[in-house]
Amino acid sequence: MRLKATLATLLAATILSTASMAQAETLRLLTWGSYAPDELVKKFEAENPDIKVEVTFSNNEEMIAKLRATGGAGFDLAQPSHDRIYAAQLEYDIYKALDLSKINTDAMEKSLLDGVKANTTIDGGVYAVPHQWGTSGLMADKSKAPDLKSWSDLCDPKYKGKTSMRLKRTILLGTAFAMGHDPFAAYSDLDKYQSILDEVVDKLIVCKDNIKAYWKGGDDLSAMMLSGEIVGSETWDSTAYKLYAENPNIVFVPPTTGALAWIDTFAIPRKGKADDAAYKWINFVLQPENVTIMSGSTGAIAAVKGGLDLLPADKKAAVNASFTPADIDNLKFFANIPPGVEDMEGKALEKIKASTGG
């Protein structure tokens, strides 16, 4: 009798404990490196003791590849850039429409919110809201390359062997702008876009000789820049800001045709299992005191009202050293990538890479 009772108690205890374990939710976050600083994760978990945060660091392409592989399962919140959602959703159906009523959209900078909404609305559903924005542009060592101002200056023989770029779509677009085209406008006419790309490819093949090496990540770019092996490069603004802290001569330079602006967003994968936790995280990182911590880690500007002012002091100084209000007005936001463009751009990049003419 007694044995039976003991067993029953044990069994009950086991069931209870597993039940309570099951109650603890896991928020599986798929985001960029530095977009989930430990400090914020701990704070969030302290405020929401029933939620555990698991972070996977990735980039735009891998985020889509990972979600595509599972049809949108395995993660509860993803942070792709605003221009990489529409086509991916159309082709692979990996996200679910957001319930905007659960998000504190009032805190967001209206222009950015509207822009992202416009970019990511399919059949009336909104698939993303903005989180942070930043730009891609140029970086120069003022003491060695004071005149580096345009995308095409990277190909200036003056800096032969002293410049770098990343062989990805950003440089294709930047170069197109520098050549007087508007590639985003040409997205609606792919034949025209192809002709622009052909011109860009020719230019960048000739430019190859001028380039020291194509950088592959923030680390090798930083090393080349800090060591003085290169004096100017295409860059992400956050990388430039980090280098500014180490060498104030290294500044972010918005190209004359405008820095290319991206907005990293929040999107919920189609088979996400912790939507409530995801919304909680979104609202959590929008709180002003958390924005500063986040921006300190990422170097990007939060898409909240007064986001620029919420930057930590050193980042703010770096931004101010780089941007004038006119530069901000001149920002070119990446346009939605229509289906097929990735293939065209990929082929263009391959041609440049494989070419030995330079």
Question: By the criterion CB under 8 A, which residues form the site for other proteins?
Answer: 61-62, 64-65, 68, 87-88, 90-93, 168, 208, 211-214, 216, 220, 223-224, 227-229, 339, 342-343, 346, 349-351, 353-356, 358
- Give whichever of 44 and 334 is closer to other proteins, judged by the CB atom: 334
Taking the complex as a whole, the smallest distance from the CB of residue 137 to other proteins amounts, in Å, to 21
Q: How many CA atoms lie within 13 A of 67 on its CB side?
A: 34
Residue closer to other proteins, measured from CB, 101 or 227: 227
Q: Is 107 or 207 the residue whose CB approaches other proteins more closely?
A: 207
**Residue 329's CB: how many other CB atoms inside 10 A?**
8
Radius of gyration of the chain (CA): 23
E strands present in 118-168? 121-122, 125-126, 129-141, 163-165
How far are the Cα atoms of 137, 203, 338 from residue 341, in angstroms, in the given order? 21, 19, 6
Q: Give the rounded distance of the alpha carbon of 241 from its chain centre.
A: 16
Nearer residue to other proteins within complex by CB, 11 or 65: 65
Question: Which residue lies nearer to other proteins by CB, 37 or 74?
Answer: 74
Smaller CB separation from other proteins, 312 or 338: 338
CB of 355 to other proteins, least distance (A): 7
Q: How far is the CB of 168 from other proteins (least distance, A)?
A: 8
d(CA 174, CA 169): 9
- Nearest residue to 300 via CA among 112, 142, 127: 112
Angle between helices 38-47 and 288-298 (to 10 degrees): 150
Give the containing element (helix H, strand E) for 49: none
Give the shortest CB-116-to-other proteins separation in angstroms. 21
**Residue 229 neighbours by CB distance under 10 Å:** 13
CB of 76 to other proteins, least distance (A): 22
